[in-house]
Amino acid sequence: MTTSHYIAGRWVEGQGSDCISVNDPALGQPFAELMAASAAQVDQAVAAARGALPVWKATSASERAGYLRGFAEQLGQRREALIGVQMRNNGKPRHEAEIDLDDAIATFNYYAELAEQLPSKNREVPLAAPGFTARTRLEPVGVVGLIVPWNFPLVTSAWKLAPALAAGCTVVLKPSEVTPLVEQAYGQIADALSLPAGVLNIVNGKAETGAALSNHTGLDKLSFTGSNNVGSQVMRSASAQCRPVTLELGGKSAIVVFDDCDVDQAVEWIVAGITWNAGQMCSATSRLLVQDSIADALLPRLQATLEKLRVGNPLTGEVDMGPLTSQAQWLKVASYFATAREEGLQCLAGGKALDRDGWFVSPTLYADVPNDSRLWTEEIFGPVLCARRFATEEQAIAEANDSRFGLVATVCSADLARAERVADALEVGHVWINSVQAVFVETSWGGTKGSGIGRELGPWGLSAYQSVKHVTRCLG
C-alpha cells in the first residue's frame, strides 16, 4: 500500500518535518514510515476540495450514489489486504477486522441508497400568509475536514466520508498518525473509480497536521472523532470561524445487570463490551452495575472468563484479544493499574501489563470500586472493567447517569418492560438491551453530555452534511 498523500487526484510525497513511524503493536516494532504533510500541502488539499465543489455538488444524486457503490465494491475487492493491514497495524483479531470491513462496505451502500432518495426538485412549503410562496432545498454544506481516530480507522472514516460525498460535499480526510495505512485505500479507490480530482483528499500527519486542517479558513465544517482533549481544541478552532462541527468524543459507559438475567449470557455481553478491540472503544461498557442478589454468582464466572481469554498476536494464531494499538496507550493503561494499586482496589482478574514483546495487557476486573475512584470516573480506553453493586432500579439508573459522559449503555434483564423503562431513563445516545454492541448503519451514533455534539449514521449522518435553504417569493 502506498504511504503517500492524495491531493487533487494525485499521490504526492509528504513535505512536512515529521516522520511517521507505523508500528506492529504485537511486536512493538515499526514496519513502515512516511513523511507527514506540510501546512502548505494542507492548503493545497483544501484548495483542491474548494475547486472541485461546484462540479461535485452539481452532479446528480444518482451519479453520486454510483460512486458510493463503487467504493463499497472496491473495498470488497481489497478485502484480504485491508484485513491484513488492520491486523498488523491495529492489532485486531481477524474476526474484528472482518467486521470492520463489512461495516465500512455497508455504510457506503447505505448512503448510496439515501443519495438516490434525495429530492431532485425543490419542495413547496405551504404558508398561512396569503400572497407568498415558499420552497425549500437541501444543499451540501461545502468543504469539510474529517479527522478520524486510530481505534476504528476504516469504519470511522466510512461513517464520515460516505454521507459527506452523498450530500455533495468535498472532503479533506486526515487519518490518525498511529494507523495511517488502511485509509490510503480510499485514495486508491478514488483513482480506480475516476472520482473527480479534488473531491477526496487525504493528508497524513501528527497533531500539527490536524491543527493546520482544523484551523483552516477554507473549510465549511469539521467532523472529528477522538479524545475530549483534542475535541475541545477542534471545537475552539471551529468557533473561531463560527462554523458547524460534529464531535464524537469519549465515554465511560455503564452495563446494568439485573438479578433476573441469565448469568452466563450476561457474562458474554459484559466481556464483549470491555474486550472488543482490547477495550479501545469510546463505547466500552467499562462500568459494571450488578444487582446485589446476582453479584456473588456473576463476578466469579466473569473473572474466570476473562482469565481464559486468549491474548496474543493475531497474525500468528487465533486470539480473542490482541494488543493495545500504541505504546502510548499501553503506558496509559499501565498507569491506571498503578493507580488501582495506590487506591487499594480489589483486583479479581488481570491488573497488569503482560511480560512479552508488544503492547499487551491482561483483561482486567476490579470489584466494589468506589464511585470516586479515578478508574470509575475516567475513560481508560483499555480492557479494564470496574464493578459496583446496586439494590434497586432507581439506584442503578442514578449511578449509571452519574457521569460526565453519555455515549452508550447496555441493560440486561429478562423483564423486558423494565429493560425498556431503564433504557428510556438513561442519559446516553444509544442503549442496547440484552445484546452485544451491534451497531447498524441505519441507527444513529453519538452521545450526550461530554460525549460529543451531533449524530452520525442513519439519515442524521447525512443531514449533518446538508444545509437547508428556503426561498420565499412575494406574489404581488
Active site (catalytic) residues:
248, 282
Beta strand 5-7 pairing with 10-12: antiparallel
Are the C-beta atoms of 400 and 289 separated by less than 8 Å?
A: yes
Question: Measured between alpha carbons, how far is 286 from 292 in angstroms, rounded to an integer?
Answer: 18
All three cell numbers of 49, joined, read 476540495
SS3 content of the chain, % helix, strand, coil (to 5): 40, 20, 35
**CA Rg, the chain, in Å?**
23
Question: Measured between alpha carbons, how far is 450 from 69 in angstroms, rounded to an integer?
Answer: 35
Residue with cell 423483564: 415
All three cell numbers of 219, joined, read 473549510
3-state SS class at 29: strand
- Determine which helix (DSSP H) or strand (DSSP E) holds 127, and give its type and residue range: none
- Helices marked H in 168-318: 184-193, 207-214, 228-241, 263-275, 292-308
Q: Is the dihedral of CA 363, 369, 372, 376 positive or negative?
A: positive
- Determine which helix (DSSP H) or strand (DSSP E) holds 54, and give its type and residue range: helix 39-58
What lies within 8 Å, CB to CB, of 445 at 6+ separation is 159, 248, 429, 430, 439, 455, 456, 457, 458, 461
